[in-house]
A and B are shown apart, each in its own frame.
Chain A
Amino acid sequence: MIYFDNSATTFVSDSVRAALQELTEDSVSANPGALHKLGNRAIEVYEGIRKETAELLGARPEEIFFTSCATESANTAIKGYMSRNKRAGNAVISTRTEHKATLECLEYLAKLGYEIRYLKVGMDGKPVPESLEEELSKGDVALACFTLVNNETGAVLPFENISKTIRAKSPSTVIYLDCVQALGKMPINLSTLGADMCSFSGHKIHSIKGNGVLYVKKGVRIDPLILGGGQQDGMRSGTQSPVLAGAFLAALKEVTTGIDESREKIAEINAYLRKELSSRGAKILSPDDALPYVLNVSFEGFESETMLHCLEIYDIFVSTVSACSAKQKKVSYVLLEMGVDRKTAANAVRLSFSRHNTMDEAVEFIKCVDEIYDQFLVK
């Protein structure tokens, strides 16, 4: 089996399995809010996990909140900030190439009367700098929402420049950054990154599904999305789960070591695939400077789903557009926004890698593509 669908989800790593085993022992399974010593033990373990997670991300423990997924993190950050800071401004800037978790929150805000200003996006998947300056100059911008690495194309946001521009032109604007696809694939240090709120997902880094992280920089105030017993400093009520938090941490530990080596290896695989696929007439839609972990490619003569099923015959697994909405049978809005024509976008397939993929797999992939062209191409 060749699994090139790691941006959709990843397989659970052994260290995560071990953490799950360990953290489901009776001795750490009491309610972290309980007053007895079993409860004390549980909260101690939980806070330990939070502290270590914070350290690995370059944050303070009190800036880290465990959620059920990155979508929850995005909802809490975007809706929570606007709800709490009603006088911060009436506008939000973003792009139309964000993940649905962001876009739907922005749609929601638009319905409440906020003005959403979408920046123009270039063929390279990046917001056009002039567009950013123009929208900022109109003023009243409370929040800016961006994605560090686009989930469909791997386009990397020039975040340093963007945050500098925002800080210079509109110092009061708070920045939310979706870091889901970047985590473990490029170094992230939240203390220097320049974002005020960030979201992370566990299952994209070899943890299980059901755990995410929200980072909220100290001093940024937001309303919680989930109300209840006031756990996690009231930011995210609901009994804390040392198991889920521990699974996230175990995965995080693994993916934050050897980032550069892994990236180098994947860059080689990516370059090889780009070269081989281009020479066969396939069109590479990921920008040249994209993160090598994602390769969006359009196979002429094959509708996205057809290519997906052709590859499936060879036990190779990829995605069409983004897996979350693959059943809606629509062309990728991200590609269309980048200026890719509809027909090319309709044939787009996303290959996405993890650090565990190998060159041998890439070679095998190309061999299978050749067979697929021979057997199934409809001209």
Chain B
Amino acid sequence: MGNVLLARMGEITLKGLNRGAFEIQLKSNLKYRLKKFGDLKIYQSQSRIWIEPKEEDNPNFVSMASAEEIMKAVCQVFGIVSVSLARKFEGDFESVKENAFACVRELLDANPGYKTFKVESKRGNKTFPMTSPEICEELGYLILQNFPELTVKVKNPDFILNVEIRESNYIYSGKMMAHRGLPVGTCAKGMLLLSGGIDSPVAGFMMASRGMPLDAVYFHSYPYTSDLAKQKVIDLAKIVSGYSGRMTLHVVNFTQIQLDLYKHSPQDMLTVTMRRVMLQIAERLALKNDCKCLITGESLGQVASQTMEAIAATNEVVKMPILRPLIGLDKQATCDISRDIGAFETSILPYEDCCTVFVAKHPKTHPHPEDIIEAEKDLDIEMLVESGVAGTEDIVINPFD
């Protein structure tokens, strides 16, 4: 049982003079993310972030299960590469040996099949009387003597025992991989167009992994879509916010707008005109909420509205950059990420989202500019966009409620 978590930072360590700002943001995000686990000491030293229980009379995490839960939470914080549960202790080689034995014993209890191992060590504290290779050698020898069932294997052993001699000493084995990226909050906010599908939550996740905080907008067409569909989007927003942090979900009442579009624009252009209006509403909500870009889950060629011509037709109605992190991604790759972040099962729930009711049988896949002018000639676009912005309900999504 360890008493400290060791979290490794990735890309941040490559930063130059602004590295400090990234680190401060990362620590602050960790504090926020781990708040619900009680009083924890989170501090940084030597390119690592350390997390310890605060109470002095309770030097260990409450239980292995709770340590694992905290590790999972740490892994949801962008900027972290991996995390290990370690034993922290003071003293000379004798105490290193004792702790190493205890650690190996625990590992063998939990994994009776383990037969091979190796020791790796790092010595930051140069006053320690042994060098790193000496520690590996001596400790390896002692473990072999004490645990006759084990043999040393340098390549691909069943487990590696890591020893680090710093201001204190640390021993651990194994690590949980995190999502890397940059700490959320280190760049400006983006407005995610969130539907009930697989792609848009993944798009939000990917932008958040570059440090971008998010707000989201969802177009609701009740009664053509049920409130279960809306709840599904709220659930998806909550899943994304587990990574991106607190966000506001702007639910646009889209029913009347959609009916107007349906009545006054040609069937085969409906998807394009609808998306053009959606983007304009999203842009205005973005401006109102201090977002600097829009984010969509578009992937080139995936559906009729995602051909290059259709994307160009929707792109031209807004000034803000539209980020499309999935544009070159295969559907399978998107599904893999969706599963990885825990959104897939929610995304595939069957409730109709607003795309299925008003879909033309044969939408125009290569709309020309003149088609668009023709399609919108009977529409008061400005009025539709304004009514959309005005009829928006804001829902605060707090991932850790």
Contacts and interface: CB of A to CB of B under 8 A. Distances in A.
A308 B223 CA distance: 8
B350 A376 contact: no
A309 B223 contact: yes
Given A306-B224, A308-B223, A309-B224, 12 more contacts: A303-B352, A305-B226, A305-B352, A309-B222, A309-B223, A309-B226, A376-B223, A376-B224, A378-B259, A378-B262, A378-B357, A378-B358
Contacts of A310: 223
A328 B350 contact: yes
Contacts of A309: 222-227
Interface in A115-174: none
A313 interface: yes
Interface string B204-244: 00000000000000000011111100000000000000000
How many B residues touch the partner, as a band? 10 to 19
Closest 10 pairs (CB-CB, A-B): A309-B223, A329-B350, A310-B223, A306-B224, A309-B226, A378-B262, A306-B223, A313-B223, A309-B222, A305-B226
27 contacts: A303-B352, A303-B357, A305-B226, A305-B352, A306-B223, A306-B224, A306-B357, A308-B223, A309-B222, A309-B223, A309-B224, A309-B225, A309-B226, A309-B227, A310-B223, A312-B223, A313-B223, A327-B350, A328-B350, A329-B350, A329-B352, A376-B224, A376-B259, A378-B259, A378-B262, A378-B357, A378-B358
Contacts of B259: 376, 378
Contacts of A376: 223-224, 259
A376 B221 CA distance: 11
Contacts of A328: 350
A328 B223 CA distance: 19
Contacts of A303: 352, 357
A314 to B, nearest CB: 10
Contacts of B350: 327-329
How many A residues touch the partner, as a band? 10 to 19
Interface in B336-359: 350, 352, 357-358
Contacts of B227: 309
Interface string A286-308: 00000000000000000101101
Contacts of A308: 223
A378 to B, nearest CB: 6
B229 to A, nearest CB: 10
A264 B179 CA distance: 67
Nearest to A375: B259
B196 to A, nearest CB: 13
A327 B350 CA distance: 7
Nearest to A312: B223
Interface string B79-110: 00000000000000000000000000000000
A303 B359 CA distance: 13
A133 B386 CA distance: 67
A312 B225 CA distance: 12
Nearest to A313: B223
Interface in A340-379: 376, 378
A132 to B, nearest CB: 37
Contacts of B352: 303, 305, 329
A222 B350 CA distance: 40
Contacts of B226: 305, 309
Nearest to A303: B357
Interface in B249-277: 259, 262
Nearest to B352: A305
A312 B222 CA distance: 10
Contacts of A312: 223
A306 to B, nearest CB: 5
A192 B306 CA distance: 66
